[in-house]
Amino acid sequence: MSSAYANLTKTFTRLSRFSHLSAITGWDMMTMMPPGGSSARGAALAELSVLQHEILTDKKVGQWLEEAAQDQLNDVERANLSEMQRAWQQASLLPASLVEAKSVAGSRCEHAWRQQRPANDWQGFSANLKEVVKLSREEAEIRAQANGCTRYDALLSVFEPGMTSARLDQTFGEIKQWLPSLLQRIVDKQAQETVDIPVGPFAVESQKQLGLAIMKLLNFDFNAGRLDVSAHPFCGGVPEDVRITTRYNENEFTSAMMGVIHETGHARYEQNLPKQWAGQPVAHARSTAIHESQSLFFEKQLGRSAEFLNLLLPHVKLLLGDQTALEQTNFIALNQRVKPGLIRVDADEVSYPAHIILRYEIEKALIGGEIEVDDIPALWQEQMQSLLGIDTTGNYRDGCMQDIHWTDGAFGYFPTYTLGAMYAAQLFQGVKKALPQVSELLREGNLQPVFDWLEQNIWQHGSRFSTRQLIENATGEDLNPLYFKQHLENRYLNNR
């Protein structure tokens, strides 16, 4: 190994440590920081972003990358070098001034959103969002020029290397063909069934204890992470210190419960990334869609299965009290209820893709300059009515202001949710092939064989393989959306 590669590993270890600080500081900003700290924290995070940018884009890094490319490296080192090259190229394209401006604008937009969303203040929110979009378009144009692609594809590749809007258009176009009719068939079927709704209040502390019990059931490592509260549930931190959050509603507990399962899926992936490569890009999660596949594997494939819900029920009754609505059949039906609604994070898995397709089509047009921020509410209403039959006129709070992704310029992120759902369905199919007795294992509460399969096929590999290679190695084929459709039909129409 040459000194060039050794210098690169030292540099990326240093960057990893700064990212650690940034992640924990960002978590604090979302959970613990008093409102008065927003401006100073935003400036501090921007300063840290600039420092990391300067380290990564130093001319020496480019020289070392060229020299190391000539080295005799093993396959893991070669994969690591490839990820270093990608990170360097992504960063070196952007001037430090743009990195700083985008960080400051994002912090300002997100912090103001916390008050603007409850107030349904679209005008106030849109003023900040316009600056974020302006800077995001600048970034997209720079990346597109360098990579010979569209603006949107340039941003999409930041989150999902190898994916293109052309492929998304095809895949999402197919989903739009069958989703509305499937959704209606399921809604009609469930309309013949009576489901009792559990009656609260459900104390926040009791819901928290339920979440902790579920995390324990899912083998979350509490020595390397914790559970907190935020306005928008997320998983952050670093593999050695994973922070997950949820939000509570005393009138109903299932949203927080499923939110914890979802974020625990993210966390288990992070906690089981390859420790022997820690500090290096190859030890990072493969892509955003693969990350989402893990959270959705936990929440949808496992979490809403009848077998897993039966495991949860004793904990629910113990901590939240027994009542008729928590009878076994009703509890399962409650958590497999399909009802199109306004809020993406609370959406059932059948209607969820509609929320993502809506956002994808809007943000692609927004970055491409085909529409402006002021056009968003009308387009949102049009798509919600078309895909889900829901009216959002004037309801910005539960419409186009409900998410935080656009506040910091994360354009290109939303498609990864539905890509993740499709990967999750395909991976669970892989589990069933490897473990034909998986239903029996789940009924017995023996989840370890499933976790072992994920560790062997996904977690331990980090970014060693491309997304396509990773999925092909695990399941024998590239992404196949058919498994997702079959999963929805089997669970909601065929009771399997």
Catalytic residues: 263
What angle do the packed helices 122-147 and 96-116 form, to 10 degrees? Answer: 150
The dihedral of CA 17, 19, 21, 27: what is its sign? negative
CA distance linking residue 41 with residue 63, whole number of Å: 34
The secondary structure of 91-144 as a DSSP string is HHTS-HHHHHHHHHHHHHHHHHHHHHTTTT-HHHHHHHHHHHHHHHHHHHHHHH
Apex 70 CA angle, 66 and 71, nearest 5: 115
Apex 411 CA angle, 407 and 417, nearest 5: 105
What angle do the packed helices 288-296 and 254-271 form, to 10 degrees? Answer: 130
238 beta partners: 241
**How does 190-228 read in b/e, with b if 16+ C-beta sit within 10 Å?**
beeeebeebeeebeeebbbebbbbbbebbebeeeebbbb
- The bridge status of strand 241-246 relative to strand 235-238 is antiparallel
| Amino acid, res. 113 | W
Q: Which residues contact 439 (CB under 8 A, 6 or more apart)?
A: 307
Nearest to 198, CA basis, from 333, 103, 84: 333
DSSP, collapsed to helix, strand or coil, labels residue 348 as: coil
DSSP label of 273? S
Q: Which residues contact 452 (CB under 8 A, 6 or more apart)?
A: none
CA distance linking residue 80 with residue 67, whole number of Å: 14
For residue 105, give both structure tokens.
Answer: 């604008």
DSSP, collapsed to helix, strand or coil, labels residue 217 as: helix
Structure-token match 């629910």, residue found: 316
DSSP, collapsed to helix, strand or coil, labels residue 228 as: strand
Neighbours of 495 (CB within 10 A): 9
Nearest to 46, CA basis, from 106, 91, 105, 103: 103
Structure-token match 């958590």, residue found: 335
Q: Are 392 and 398 in contact (CB under 8 A)?
A: yes
